[in-house]
Every structure is written in C-alpha cells, then in structure tokens.
Amino acid sequence: MTWSLAELVAALRTSTRIVALTGAGMSAASGLQTRKQLWQRFTRDDAVSMARFRAEPATLWAVIRAFWGDRPHPANAGHQALARLPNLAAIVTQNVDELHQAAAAAGRSTPVIELHGSLSRTRCLDCGRSGEATAQALAAAGLPLPPRCACGGVLRPEVVLFGERVPAAAMASARAHAAAADLLLVIGCAMDVSPARELPLVAARAGARIVELKRRPSRLAAAVLVHHVAGAAEDILPAATTALATSEPGCDARP
C-alpha cells in the first residue's frame, strides 16, 4: 500500500510509541557504500563471514577500507530528522557506523540498539584487549592489513560477521521495543537478513502499523501489511518532521 507524505505525517502525529528499524540506505547520503555497491567489488557476504576472516583476515579489513574510505562521514539530514522525531522510543539499527549516536538530539536519550555492533570498537583475537583506535581509522591509515595488536594478534572490529549470532541481549531489547511500538518505521532496509527481518512481524502481531521508507519497496510486503513511502530517508524524514512542527493536526491515516 503506497502512502503519501501527508499520510505518513498523520500516522506520526497519532502514534505515541514509534520505533525505527534502519539499514544501509539510511547512511548512503553520508557517503557510505551499501552492500549492493560493495558486492560489486567483493564476493558478496563471504567477504564478511567469520570463516573467511579466520582464514584470511585481510579481506574483511579491505571491505572496511572500501566501505569507509579515507574521509569523515557525518550524520546526514535523515539521521538528524529521525533524532528529533517526537515520540521516538528507540532506534534499532543494522548499521555499524554510529551515525545515529552522532545525530542524537540534545537533551534526549533515545536508545540505539546496534544489532550488528560498531566499527568504532575493536579487540584482539589473541589477548582479547580492546583496540585503541577505531576500525575506521585503522582501515584508512594505509598500513598493511590486517592491523595488529601490540601483542602481535590480529585485531577484529566488534561487528557481527556472517556465521555469528546477533548478541542475545541486543535482540531481546529490539524485540521488546518492536512489540511495544504502535508504529514501526523501516528505513533503508533490504529486509533480507535475519534476525532483523523478523522485527516487523513481531511489531505487526502486536498491532503496530508498519511503514517502509525506501525508494522501492523491499520484500517485506510479502510477509506483512506495509505502507510504503517512496523516496530517500534524507528527503522524507526532514520533510515529515518539518510538517509535524508546522501543520495543524489532521485525520488519522489508518486504512
């Protein structure tokens, strides 16, 4: 079901507990590559699998270097607008860039649940010590890959690789927020990776409306009733928050 911006704004206005589920499309406007772009250069998900990392750790670090590049990537207008959204209870993200935290609205403490970890944290596979530099900085430094700890062990980013499980605590928190939401915003997600793709079903079973913000609909509509708002997050979200702040309350957009 296609929705207009006005219908999205009406749904946002009448919702009291909004949860956002975000994916790579959320950060594309910050200059970060999506999986689709990266897999034009690397062997799809095998390049970021735990099995490949154990056998050839330099490959994962080459992916990170390609993903992050050699320049900063600030939070974009979509991140900023989402952080200001009234009644936002939580952000559940598949992204590992910490741009939601960078965009956090002053005076608000909206939880950000990182399903797949963060590139800002690293640790040594041998001694377990936390790295002193972020994975972004290590990948961009131009040094031989993989980077190593002072003990000589290989450093790994604190992200969930294919073949590893999403931390149980993070997934439990994400499920609880999805079940308590009355509106779930699915933003820039391909919806082809578990267990994140289960969250809209959790929310829908609990009675939430599901709204997808994406240029083209994902496969999510095959599993649950979805209201699709076509476009990019960096365009839709600022327009919606501006409309919420300036327009008069309107009618409920429930079908």
Instruction: Mark whether 227 is an active-site residue.
Output: no
> Position of tokens 């450093």?
155
25-38 residues labelled b (16+ CB within 10 A) or e (exposed):
bbbbbbebbbbeeb
Closest of 174, 173, 197, 171 to residue 186, by C-alpha: 197
Characterise 134 by phi-psi region: left (phi > 0), alpha (psi -120 to 50), beta (else).
beta
Residue 195, number of CB atoms within 10 A of its CB: 14
Q: Which of 79, 100, 116, 228 is catalytic?
A: 116
Assess contact for 85 and 105: CB atoms under 8 A.
Answer: no
Give CA–CA dist 194/166, Å, rounded: 9
Q: Report, as residue numbers or ranges, the catalytic residues.
A: 116
